Amino acid sequence: MLALAGAATALPAAASGTAPTCTVEQAQLGLCVIEVEDEVEQPGAPGGGSGGGVPQPQVCRYGLQQVPCVDAEGRTWSAGGQCYVGAALDTVVGGAFTPELTQAEFDERTAGGQRPYECLAPDWVIPMRITYIWADGPPPVDPRVVAEQAIARLQVEAVEIGMAPHTLSEDPDSLGLVGLPVHMWAEAPGASTVGPTSATASAGAVTVTATARLDRVVWSMGDGTSVTCTGPGTPYDPARGAAPSPDCGHRYTTTSAGRPSDAFTVTATSYWVVDWVGGGQSGQVTFDLSSSDQVRIGESQVVITRGG
């Protein structure tokens, strides 16, 4: 149960179905105290994500207006309080809050295990006084919201294309031949291009770690075919001669003549899987990143001569 003192705007109906009303003027004068309940999704509940699965995108609303679920200062949104929950108050601060937080109320409620937290509406501006909410322990934080922050911090990028024959960006004069093996690989693979790599985010008492790993790379070869490779591929070794790639290769059956730049455009699409865990929940999301280059493929000519 959260108690919101002096809300800056009218709030939508609380979980109990009661429709509280509080005008801006009343709030500024400290004439209203509204009791609301936050609906907190418990681990293991339907849709709670305790067994994994793709978390649904969070939508946070301030009245009818959609707002970020985490503000620029890292504060999380309270749907019941209709505000961003800020720092806990350790002592009574006179003149800063609406209505005034009395020492008697502070002592009584903190003795009962509650603490007041700053409650900042999206349109809060100085010098408007800040409202506050009471909570039994730290205010609830949705782990899925924190997971989105952790995923946003992941340092991942598309693979840099490595090929034999060389791509045109590496060697503008490179020319492969129809029928010969083509090797594909991720150039200089690292944590940011093939994983695994992790990032962590925290809000309140909830800390979430997201770990990204490369699931596969799908190579669109520009000739209407695609090749799926489950790893980064193996760089070409001249000692292999005309042997095919051991794990990621292709053979062109037509030339690239007549295409733009007389070359095939090759696109490598990396498909990533991100597993996150924290706050008693877990989940999984997927995304993809792409990079492109060109390769020129010619056709060998056989010249037959007859002796005179």
What pLDDT score was predicted for residue 305? Answer: 56
CB 164 within 8 A of CB 88: no
What pLDDT score was predicted for residue 209? Answer: 96
CB 1 within 8 A of CB 35: yes
| Cis omega (within 30 of 0) for bond into 172 | no
What pLDDT score was predicted for residue 89? Answer: 80
What pLDDT score was predicted for residue 162? Answer: 97
d(CA 76, CA 122): 11
CB 271 within 8 A of CB 218: yes
In the chain, CATH 2.60.40.10 sits at 146-298
Q: Over the range 19-57, which residues count as b (16 or more CB within 10 Å of their CB) and which as e?
A: ebebeeeebeeeebebebebeeeeeeeeebbeeeeebee
Task: Give the position of tokens 């720092």.
Answer: 87
* 146-298 fold: Immunoglobulin-like (2.60.40)
Mean per-residue pLDDT of the chain: 78
C-alpha distances (whole Å) from 261 to each of 34, 114, 224, 264 are 69, 70, 17, 8
Determine how β-strand 160-164 pairs with β-strand 83-88: unpaired
Could you tell me the end-to-end alpha-carbon distance of the chain, in angstroms, rounded to an integer? 104
Beta bridge partners of 119: 85, 131
d(CA 102, CA 26): 18
Mean pLDDT for 37-63 is 44
Strand, helix or coil for residue 117: strand
Looking at mean pLDDT, say which of 73-77, 124-128, 145-149, 156-160 comes out highest: 156-160
pLDDT digits (tens, 9 = 90+) for 199-242: 999 887 789 999 999 999 999 999 999 999 999 999 999 998 89
The pLDDT > 70 percentage for the chain reads 75
What pLDDT score was predicted for residue 198? Answer: 96
Residue 47 has pLDDT above 70, yes or no: no
Residue 169 has pLDDT above 80, yes or no: yes
Least trusted range by pLDDT, from 102-116, 239-253, 283-297: 102-116
Residue 115 has pLDDT above 60, yes or no: yes
What pLDDT score was predicted for residue 301? Answer: 62
Q: What is the DSSP letter of 122?
A: T
User: Which of 185, 137, 182, 187 is closest to 160 using CA atoms?
Assistant: 187
Residue 28 has pLDDT above 60, yes or no: no
Mean pLDDT for 25-54 is 33
Residue 38 has pLDDT above 50, yes or no: no
Q: How many CB atoms lie within 10 A of CB 123?
A: 11
